[in-house]
Structure 1
């Protein structure tokens, strides 16, 4: 399994977007990426609200990563 860190971010101008980080080989790696993103968003005056998470991805044997 691999994990994908994601963030939903809304800015002060009411524009909201999804972002993703790099695929991780563990949930801990994914959460570490999100911790870095959270620190950046907490200090960014343009960020009004955000939510982060890790999505578990189960590749098929035919998928290439």
Structure 2
């Protein structure tokens, strides 16, 4: 059917800087899922466009 996909070995190259962490803010996720524990961010959906730009969604605080 389709050819075997090329294996790409992932590496960690970045993290959310401390100044962008929002652990001092309340969010539905910190309340409902993490039982009130601080949550600086919860990144989901890492995706690169064809120009190599990285997009992620911080679902805990509604940021792209």
TM-score by length of 2: 0.24
Greater Rg over alpha carbons, structure = 2
- In proportion to residue count, which structure has more strand? 1
TM-score by length of 1: 0.24
- In proportion to residue count, which structure has more helix? 1
**Per chain length, whose mean CA-contact separation is higher, i.e. which structure has more relative contact order (CA < 8 Å, sep 6+)?**
1
